[in-house]
Structure 1
Amino acid sequence: MGTDRYAYQSRLRRVSPLPKLALAAVALVMCLCCDSVWVGLVTVLVMGVLITALGGLPATVYLHFLKVPLAFLVIGGITILIHSYPAGTTVVAALPVGERLWGFTAHDLYQAARLFCKALGAVGCMYFLSLNTPITDLTMALEKLHVPHLLVELMELIYRFIFVLAETAANIRLAQESRLGYQGFRRSMNSLGTLSSMVFLRAWRKGQSIYTALESRGYTGSLTTLAGDYTPGLWLLPLTAGVAGGQLLVFCLERMAVG
């Protein structure tokens, strides 16, 4: 929820979003296409350096946001890592369950590491874009790239209603806490169920009110936003080529080492 706050503080805030989008997209495509452990690690490291050196944000901010998807990546890696094998199969580590072995081989370990690092590198690319580009700048850049207008409008409205949901949930939880609604496991589960059932209903009502307010101000299905005063940021294009070249170099060196 705090990425926009840091995006407005970034030194790249006044740089045109198109070169930033190009850098993130090229690095992301290269990371996914190379499908390499080292390329993924280098990508997430390079994105962190760019966020710190160019955006002026503390490295702790980048590391903090990396922790958010880390649990999902670990769970995804475990599902790739653990398999069932017949008894007698050569494995790195396993737990016997009946006549089967549940564990992983060296190949499974490499596959899981490759998936984890590739996904982590992709997350780093997305954080470079989101921590340096406010959502309004990003949607305007997508319009310039002739992305379907309906898709851009949906992105803006969905982004707005994320905060509506969060605010509604926070208000309901505050009211519940003031009535000791989270004292004890049973009461906490009951309060959580009530919150879950009420948050979408109240958010829907608030959304209807916001839509009515938009229509009363002349909304005709299109949100018009004034473009900011940006610097071209063409110097990011050679940097994009350099990042892609570095990823390709790491990929080639890894292949040579394996071969």
Structure 2
Amino acid sequence: MKSAIIIPVLVTAIAAGVWLAGSEHGQEPAESRPAKSGRDSERAFVLETALPETAEIVARVNEDPEAAVAWAMERDGVARDQVLSVIVVETAVREPARAVKRAEEIADPKLRGESLGFAAAQWASVDADAAFAWLARGGEDEAVRGVIERTVFPALAEVDPVRVAEWLSEGKVSPGAMDAAVAATVQRWTQRDAPAAAEWVASFADEQLLKAAVEPLVSLWARQDRAGATRWIEGLPAGVAREEACAAYVAALAVIAPEEAKEWVGKARGEGTY
């Protein structure tokens, strides 16, 4: 029996940022995203090995999605959840709002969170306002929300990093998802407006969040505009932010300008002057 395979496979695919929908419906990853090699093969693996009758599920979805959901609901327990999760994967790109509703029917909290996060991330790419409104509605406990948010906020940050930053600043994110959401938001925002992203990061009072944000900010900014990154670091007051920024800058320079990286090693250790 292969019925249990879908849970770890779906987890792996979502965690890796793999868009499971087929290329005919999906979107190519943005230039900023890490390469998602094997996207189609991952999807094929999920849809071909998740359940013995996966081909039948997909055929039913393509013929009549609502009838496929009704058919899934006739099952019990784990089998019902697994069939629903396959339906979510198959329909999320074409009909993300409906896919979210289908994912909400999944009883298992972990699989529901993963499926909701996946569907909501697709939704965010085509209708960020609707995705934000759905998130604001709440309805899930903190653990499930954390699973959802770790997937959906990076997708929202692709579309509107400033708005995501506002949500984060207002504490509208589960504690377990905060670091990942901050890092994703900083990365996307830096690509669009590095000085504005840097100003936001510098305002962090929480040391853990500061550390989570500074590395993606500086490493990306150094590749885009080394002079701009240098000026920002040199203007930071002594403290954690400058220490973290120097360390991240040395790591970035080690790849793109090794000789200059050596000059910054002392600054990262608190030696020398700006």
Q: TM-score, normalised by structure 2?
A: 0.22
Answer 1 or 2: which has greater strand percent: 1
Q: TM-score, normalised by structure 1?
A: 0.23
Q: Which has the larger radius of gyration?
A: 1
- Higher relative contact order (Cα pairs below 8 Å, separated by 6+ residues): 1
